[in-house]
């Protein structure tokens, strides 16, 4: 059960290897990797290309929030291993932003818990994206779809 917030990139293979090493109860490992995608944002008559973004976070609160989200997942599903690595700082299109990995004896729990963690960290962990476009910097607004995705876990 590990949470890390870091500026440096991560090695997916090495992270997953370390996460499952020595644990013979894991039957399924679900993994989500978030990347910076090249976006085209319409701004009036212009279409702006997003080349890079800077992820700001709230040191101290971020780690606590991610640990709470992880603990919540562990209460809901039988999990053997969880890992959240979230980057901050300046990232370019194609760069990795976040890694979420969940190991469980069974795949259903692994898939569900992984999706839950991604949905919740988007809406409950203090990160903010500042996009760089040819016409200047723009703070990303909250996405209603993300709130909806996070809320569907409220009922269960």
Partner 1 sequence: MKVRYFAWMKRTVGVAEEEVSPPADVATVGDLVAWLRHRSVGHAEALAEGAAFGAAVDKRTATMDVVIGGAREVAFFPPFTGG
Q: Which residues would be at the binding site for partner 1 (CB under 8 A)?
A: 34, 55-58, 60-61, 64-65, 86, 97-98, 118, 121-130, 139-143, 146
CB closer to partner 1, 23 vs 64: 64
Closest CA to 69 of 15, 109, 115: 115
Cα-flanking dihedrals φ and ψ of residue 101, to 5°? -135, 135
CB closer to partner 1, 12 vs 140: 140
CB closer to partner 1, 22 vs 136: 136
CB closer to partner 1, 48 vs 57: 57
Closest contact distance (angstroms) between CB of 6 and partner 1 is 14
Distance, first Cα to last Cα, the chain: 22
Closest contact distance (angstroms) between CB of 108 and partner 1 is 23
Q: What is the largest CA-CA distance in the chain?
A: 57
Q: Report CA-CA distances (Å) from 103 to 32, 99, 108, 156.
A: 12, 13, 10, 20
Closest contact distance (angstroms) between CB of 32 and partner 1 is 9
What does the alpha-carbon distance between residue 126 and residue 88 come to, in Å, rounded to a whole number? 11
Closest contact distance (angstroms) between CB of 61 and partner 1 is 4
């Amino acid at each position: 059960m590990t949470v890390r917030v870091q500026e440096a990139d991560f090695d997916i293979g090495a992270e997953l290897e370390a996460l499952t090493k020595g644990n013979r109860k894991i039957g399924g490992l679900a993994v989500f990797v978030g990347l910076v995608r090249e976006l085209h944002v319409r701004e009036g008559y212009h279409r702006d290309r997003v080349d890079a973004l800077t992820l700001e976070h709230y040191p101290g609160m971020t780690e606590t929030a991610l640990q709470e989200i992880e603990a919540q997942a562990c209460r809901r599903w039988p999990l053997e291993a969880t890992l959240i690595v979230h980057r901050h700082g300046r990232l370019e299109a194609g760069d990795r932003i976040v890694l979420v990995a969940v190991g469980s004896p069974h795949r259903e729990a692994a898939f569900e818990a992984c999706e839950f963690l991604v949905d919740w960290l988007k809406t409950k962990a203090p990160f903010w994206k500042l996009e760089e476009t040819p016409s200047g910097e723009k703070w990303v607004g909250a996405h209603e779809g993300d709130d909806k995705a996070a809320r569907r876990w409220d009922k269960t």
